[in-house]
Chain A
Amino acid sequence: MLVSLNWLKNYVDISGISIEDLAERITKSGIEVDGIHYIAEESKGLVVGYVESCEQHPNADKLNLCQVDVGEETLQIICGAPNIKQGQKVIVAKPGGVLPGNFKIKKVKLRGIESNGMICSLQEIGINEKYVPKDVADGIFVLPEDTVVGEDIEPLMNLNDAVLEFDLTPNRADCLSMLGVAYEVAAVLDKEVNLPDYSVATTNDHAKNYISVDVESPELNPYYGAFIIKDVQVKQSPLWLRNYLMAAGVRPINNVVDITNYVLFEYGQPLHAFDYDHLDSKKIVVRQARENEKMTTLDDVERTLTSQDLLITDGEKPIALAGVMGGANTEVNENTTTVLLEAAYFDPYTVRKTVNKTGLRSEASTRFEKGVDPNRVKEAGLRACLMLKDYADGEVLEGAVEFDKLDRSSKKVMMNQKEINKRLGTDLTTKEIEDILRKLGFDYKQVDIEFEVSIPTRRGDISIFEDMLEEVARIYGYDHLPYTLPKGASKPGALTERQNLKRKIKQFLQGVGLSETITYSLTNKDYIDKLISPEIKILNPKPARVALPMTEDHYYLRLSLLPEMLKSMAYNIARKQTNLAFYEMGTIFVTDEEKITKQPNERLRLSGAITGHWMNHEWQQEKKSVDFYVIKGIIESLFSYLDVEVDYKRLKHPDLHPGRSAMISLDESTIGFIGQVHPSMEKAFDLKETYVFDLDMEQVLEAYEHIPSFSHIPRYPAIARDVAFVLDESVPANEVQRLIEELGSPVIKDVHVFDLYMGDNLPDGKKSVAYNLIYQDPHKTLKDEEVDQSFREIIEKVNEQFDAYVRS
């Protein structure tokens, strides 16, 4: 809502306060002033001129040589505007004057003839092109004939006006009108509101002789008032009216339309003017549209309607889409002489539905959608009648023809001083509360500390005690509320074990070199089925998607964090950042429903990806590119940090390198994978060798045990044995290790691989894996014989089971 201060002054006294202060006080009491705009930049030396003569420039076809009377003198001005004529009153910038943009007016010679000033268009004096009426957009602005020659243009054209831009919250529809704003400003500044005049002298002829009104759906249209104005002269509106409309951001059209717009802004009540002579039958019938009924609206678009739309008809054909837009067939034009003026209350929800369907949101529909003030509907109609009489030379017929089932009663809200103070934490006296109600202009009855407040119908947003609490608080001033802290018993706050563990895992990964990313949950069709972990795949997930995506890129709810992470990697690599190590903890959305009907299973994942150099110490020429064992090392240390035992098995996955990928399991249950991204996928993403991991955090967090049991620091010495087995290349090293551990239990404390060899001295297809075995008994010193016996047994069994032999 744009609020012209010059216009506002008609209803409330705002003298003695600066524009900035006013904006600040309005903002602080609840309506955010988003900006202060000035109609035009400062100009100087603009006066009304009278074109005494206008002849073609002797040396230029397109220029006119004019003699212009500006009061104390007559200036010779050369003007190129196509619409300049002798006898016009025009805007003249005199020599020495300044136009917006610091454009100084000087005497000049144009094609050999002196020009002493400039005849101006509206744009030239600084009015926003958007609001300049179309008929004068390409030429100079012609002032009304009764304008006084030599008069200062600035006040005349409202150039000194400032406009406050309100950013209204949806509840404050009352401030979609100058009167609503006046009440608000009056409350803030403690002033009175001056209401406009709407008493209109009518003819003896009665409107009911011209029209009847019938409403078929009273609940959708509880009030319809039709006024008839005869002998209307459609012409330009008075200058002040046009100026106000331009300040409010509306382009003037003609007096009839301008007056309905003016009253719309003044009262917040949209009105509609029909050309009475174009009504086929002389009755107004308001009804719901028939399915697929068609009508052509003012914008010349044919609309197909449904029974949800409300129509104004002339008994035969639709003449307006109620509250939204008039029909082309009854539009007021320069030949109109009799106007039927509609002032109505339409059901907000019905208007809203039609607007949402047709996209026809307008100043009028915006107000109907939010509900207009039932007590101002008719008043606004009368106000427009008065103006049509005054500014369109119309004859207003007596009486409005009405359908009226409108509830105009005001709501009552009870409140008491004690409760107000208890809720706000204040110490307001009843006197202070009375004062606030008086400023707001709310009537009330008071008994002791109890107030019964009658809520004016303009304030449709107030219906309960808490609403009034806000009114009291905001007029009292949020600034004046004390600062306190809740008095309730305090209890300690803490993260849950799960939340704590999530933080620890993040910190761990950061410590080992991974940077946290946050990627989008909504992904594209291409990505949605990529890199899904086996334990998710087995659930047969169906991609869930939003009904109306903003772009194809953000359409499906992800089933893996990895594709978007790889995309981020590619983004970095394209910017020459080639060593990357990322992780992310985030949600995937699993459903097996083809058409989703219930909330998907949201599972927390921990995913990561690394590419480029893992270690790089330049001046020592130490470099190491990432490989499978780097990412495996990270995951192993993570699980060791969590003290959760997991197992790795080779994994075949279409999106992973077939030979460099492993499935991770925990107690027989798959919890994720690690591996190299399939080279063809790497290529598609424009990535070099990239390794990823993806874990089901739900299972990991579940497996974590909060308090590890204490085990004694061993007091007895450990004995080590080394052995290298020659194995088939396909034998997984960890299977051998598992067997060793099993056989050595309970005195084997640790087994680990310390060497891998393939090549010379070994048969083709064989590898040598060397294990270091640590024996230690917590209760006694082991004897060499015991260890030797176990060691021999292990070698024997491994050889047997894996077709291995000991490498000497």
Chain B
Amino acid sequence: MKEQLQSIHQEAIEKIKKSDSAKHLQELKVAYLGKKGSITSVLRGMGKLSKEERPVIGDIANKVRESITHTIESKKDELDRHALEKKLEAESIDVTLPGRPVETGGPHLLTKIIEEIENLFIGMGYEVREGPEVETDYYNFEALNLPKNHPARDMQDTFYLTPDLLLRTHTSPVQARTMHKYGGQQPVRMICPGIVYRRDDDDATHSHQFTQIEGLYVDKNVRMSDLKGTLDVFAKKMFGEDREIRLRPSFFPFTEPSVEMDISCKVCRGEGCSVCKNTGWIEILGAGMVHPKVLSMAGYDPEIYTGFAFGMGPDRIAMLKYGVNDIRQFYMNDVRFLQQYHKA
């Protein structure tokens, strides 16, 4: 009987392995394990066995049953897997076709630059302040040491609304307002971004409306070397660690000493090229130590407080950083221009 069972086992395993459908497997299951299956029919002869042999054969029979059941199940799994694979294969699509687009927009290039600069100075402990675009003559000029009839007012052609109201020509009035607000009592660390206006004909390099960011740092014992260090940190973060800065003396009515800052030209690395007009340097911003009159008008004692201020044009920075060749691009809003700067 033992031999019989073993040969049934062998035959069953072979058939199961060759089976190619769930239906056939079911038939095999019935044929071997069913009530009328071959194992059952062999076991019917158990009665003839001795008391000692019976458990041995019974044990063998159980093992054969188990083995066949197990083999059928794993074969079934295998067949299911094949069937699924086949089905999924049939569901294939062309994964190289374009997907359903999720249209996204993006920030204006100037906003990008402004936020970048804001973040940089926020990191250095500055606050961001805003102010009105229609300013009084006082805050736009007088509080910045530009009294009426000062020749330097000619440097900034102004849109006046009335003799006393104007479109701000720079964001410096926000500095004046902030200092007035703090009333000479507390240190000031601020930057003020915003739109400004000048009476200019619009062309590739001039726009009657553009943006500006100015910064102000007032405290006790602020030195000119602090201005230099701060600008250096800014320039390297903004334009690259490999850029050098150069300060040149200049003139602004609201600062003394005054400086203009150049950065080394990225294109020619100081060799001289058309971008830097053969100088190796590109002018980036104006700055200086806050003029004592500006401090005292705002209630700060210039004997105790000193400070520095700086101002730059995001339009110009964008033009330099991205090679935009016409300032009017910023205000035309041609989507083909706007979208170029929507990337992360």
Contact = CB atoms under 8 A, between A and B. Distances in A.
Interface of A: 27-30, 32, 169-172, 348-349, 352, 369-370, 422-426, 464, 466-467, 469-470, 473-474, 478-479, 481-488, 490-496, 499, 503, 506, 509-522, 544-550, 554, 557, 565, 568, 571-572, 575, 577, 580-583, 586-587, 589, 595-600, 602, 614-617, 619-620, 622
B151 A170 contact: yes
B225 A494 contact: no
A617 B100 contact: yes
Interface in B329-344: 330-336, 338-339, 342
13 contacts: A169-B251, A423-B224, A469-B257, A470-B249, A481-B225, A484-B225, A515-B338, A521-B209, A550-B208, A554-B209, A581-B103, A597-B162, A616-B101
Given A29-B249, A550-B208, A581-B105, A483 B228 contact: yes
Q: Which of B151, B248, B257 has the most CB of A within 10 A?
A: B257
Contacts of B247: 478-479, 481
Contact of B134 (A171, A483, A515, A544): A544
Interface of B: 97-98, 100-101, 103-108, 110-111, 115, 118, 121-128, 132-136, 149, 151-152, 154-155, 159-162, 165, 167, 187, 189, 195, 197, 199-202, 208-209, 217, 219-226, 228-230, 232-233, 246-251, 256-260, 289, 291-292, 306, 330-336, 338-339, 342
Contacts of A370: 151
Contacts of A602: 132-134
A35 to B, nearest CB: 8
A482 B228 contact: yes
A514 B107 CA distance: 9
A528 B220 CA distance: 48
Contact of B111 (A473, A506, A519, A589): A506
Given A474-B249, A587-B133, A485 B331 contact: no
A572 B57 CA distance: 91
A171 B248 CA distance: 15
A487 B208 contact: no
B100 A517 contact: no
B225 A513 contact: no
Nearest to A172: B251
A707 B145 CA distance: 44
B162 A547 contact: yes
B161 A547 contact: yes
A467 B159 contact: no
A589 B200 CA distance: 21
The 5 tightest CB contacts between A and B, nearest first, are A425-B225, A30-B249, A470-B257, A169-B251, A425-B223
Nearest to A591: B134
Nearest to B342: A515
Contacts of B335: 515, 572, 577, 580
A422 B14 CA distance: 99
Given A466-B289, A485-B229, A369 B151 contact: yes
A577 B336 contact: yes
B223 A484 contact: yes
A29 B332 CA distance: 40
Nearest to A546: B159
Given A478-B247, A481-B225, A509-B105, A499 B230 contact: no
Contact of B200 (A521, A550, A599): A550
Given A426-B225, A515-B342, A478 B122 contact: no
Nearest to B107: A516
Contact of A424 (B111, B224, B332): B224
What is the predominant secondary structure among interface residues of chain B facing chain A? mixed
A619 B127 CA distance: 50
Contacts of A492: 125
B334 A572 contact: yes
Contacts of B126: 493
Contact of B258 (A470, A482, A597, A600): A470
B302 to A, nearest CB: 8
Contacts of B104: 510-513
A516 B127 contact: no
B330 A486 contact: no
Q: Which of B126, B202, B226 has the most CB of A within 10 A?
A: B226
A499 B126 CA distance: 14
Q: Which of A464, A515, A582 has the most CB of B within 10 A?
A: A515
Contact of B250 (A30, A565, A617, A619): A30
B339 A599 contact: no
Nearest to B272: A20
A518 B224 contact: no
A511 B103 CA distance: 8
A596 B165 contact: yes
B289 to A, nearest CB: 7
A582 B330 CA distance: 14
A171 B333 contact: no
Contacts of A486: 217, 219, 222-223, 226, 230
A510 B105 CA distance: 4
Contacts of B228: 425, 478, 481-484
A478 B224 CA distance: 10
Given A493-B121, A515-B342, A582 B333 contact: yes
Nearest to A169: B251
Contact of A483 (B123, B225, B342): B225
User: Which of A464, A483, A596, A615 gathers the greatest number of chain B CB atoms within 10 Å?
Assistant: A483
A485 B221 contact: no
Nearest to A475: B249
A518 B110 contact: yes
Contact of B223 (A424, A466, A557): A424
Nearest to B249: A30
